[in-house]
Amino acid sequence: MMNTPEHITVHAASGRLSLTWNSGHTQWIDNATLRARCPCSTCRRLTHSGQAARIEPCVAIVDVQPMGYGVQIVFSDGHAQGIYPWDYLAGIA
Protein backbone atom coordinates (compact mmCIF):
# COMPACT_ATOMS: atom_id res chain seq x y z
CA MET A 1 0.00 0.00 0.00
CA MET A 2 1.28 3.45 -0.94
CA ASN A 3 2.24 5.84 1.86
CA THR A 4 0.17 8.95 0.97
CA PRO A 5 -0.02 12.08 3.14
CA GLU A 6 -3.37 13.22 4.52
CA HIS A 7 -2.43 16.90 4.25
CA ILE A 8 0.09 18.90 2.20
CA THR A 9 0.64 22.51 3.16
CA VAL A 10 2.96 25.15 1.72
CA HIS A 11 4.13 27.56 4.43
CA ALA A 12 5.27 30.65 2.55
CA ALA A 13 6.45 32.51 5.65
CA SER A 14 8.78 29.71 6.78
CA GLY A 15 9.79 28.55 3.29
CA ARG A 16 8.83 24.96 4.05
CA LEU A 17 6.43 22.29 2.93
CA SER A 18 4.65 20.18 5.51
CA LEU A 19 3.31 16.70 4.94
CA THR A 20 1.03 15.10 7.51
CA TRP A 21 1.13 11.35 7.06
CA ASN A 22 -1.57 8.82 7.93
CA SER A 23 0.34 7.95 11.10
CA GLY A 24 -0.22 11.52 12.35
CA HIS A 25 3.46 12.41 11.94
CA THR A 26 4.08 15.81 10.32
CA GLN A 27 7.22 16.16 8.25
CA TRP A 28 8.67 19.58 7.38
CA ILE A 29 10.93 20.00 4.35
CA ASP A 30 12.72 23.21 3.45
CA ASN A 31 11.92 24.54 -0.04
CA ALA A 32 15.60 24.82 -0.98
CA THR A 33 16.14 21.19 0.07
CA LEU A 34 13.23 20.10 -2.11
CA ARG A 35 14.60 22.06 -5.06
CA ALA A 36 18.11 20.65 -4.54
CA ARG A 37 16.76 17.09 -4.34
CA CYS A 38 14.57 17.36 -7.44
CA PRO A 39 14.16 13.89 -8.97
CA CYS A 40 13.66 15.03 -12.58
CA SER A 41 15.94 13.64 -15.28
CA THR A 42 17.69 16.99 -15.85
CA CYS A 43 18.58 17.42 -12.18
CA ARG A 44 19.63 13.77 -11.83
CA ARG A 45 21.87 14.11 -14.90
CA LEU A 46 23.55 17.16 -13.34
CA THR A 47 24.06 15.33 -10.05
CA HIS A 48 25.52 12.23 -11.73
CA SER A 49 27.96 14.38 -13.71
CA GLY A 50 29.20 16.05 -10.51
CA GLN A 51 27.44 19.33 -11.17
CA ALA A 52 24.63 20.95 -9.26
CA ALA A 53 21.90 23.37 -10.16
CA ARG A 54 22.32 26.83 -8.66
CA ILE A 55 19.58 27.15 -6.09
CA GLU A 56 18.73 30.33 -4.26
CA PRO A 57 18.16 29.74 -0.53
CA CYS A 58 14.98 31.83 -0.73
CA VAL A 59 13.40 29.72 -3.50
CA ALA A 60 9.65 29.50 -2.98
CA ILE A 61 7.04 26.93 -3.86
CA VAL A 62 4.58 28.49 -6.30
CA ASP A 63 2.27 25.52 -6.83
CA VAL A 64 1.79 21.91 -5.73
CA GLN A 65 -0.13 19.45 -7.92
CA PRO A 66 -0.88 15.93 -6.65
CA MET A 67 -0.10 13.32 -9.33
CA GLY A 68 -1.40 10.09 -7.79
CA TYR A 69 1.88 8.46 -6.77
CA GLY A 70 3.45 11.79 -5.77
CA VAL A 71 3.36 15.51 -6.21
CA GLN A 72 4.64 17.96 -8.82
CA ILE A 73 6.16 21.07 -7.30
CA VAL A 74 6.54 24.35 -9.17
CA PHE A 75 9.29 26.61 -7.82
CA SER A 76 9.75 30.37 -8.06
CA ASP A 77 12.87 29.87 -10.21
CA GLY A 78 10.60 28.38 -12.91
CA HIS A 79 11.60 24.75 -12.32
CA ALA A 80 8.59 22.44 -12.53
CA GLN A 81 9.79 19.19 -14.12
CA GLY A 82 10.11 17.01 -11.05
CA ILE A 83 7.44 14.73 -9.70
CA TYR A 84 8.32 13.77 -6.14
CA PRO A 85 7.00 10.27 -5.27
CA TRP A 86 5.44 10.01 -1.81
CA ASP A 87 8.03 7.47 -0.63
CA TYR A 88 10.85 9.72 -1.87
CA LEU A 89 9.43 12.65 0.13
CA ALA A 90 9.01 10.47 3.21
CA GLY A 91 12.72 9.61 2.98
CA ILE A 92 13.90 13.24 2.90
CA ALA A 93 14.85 14.21 6.45
pLDDT tens column, 30-56: 999 999 999 999 999 998 999 988 898
Residues of the chain with pLDDT under 50: none
Cα end-to-end distance, the chain, whole Å: 22
H-only helix segments in the chain? 31-36, 41-48, 86-91
> Nearest to residue 84, comparing CAs of 76, 74, 93?
74
Domain ranges of the chain: 7-91
Alpha-carbon gap, residue 89 to 73, rounded angstroms: 12
pTM score, whole prediction = 0.90
Give me the chain's average pLDDT, please.
92
SS3 93: coil
Q: Which CATH architecture has domain 7-91?
A: 2-Layer Sandwich (3.30)
Residue 52 DSSP one-character state: -
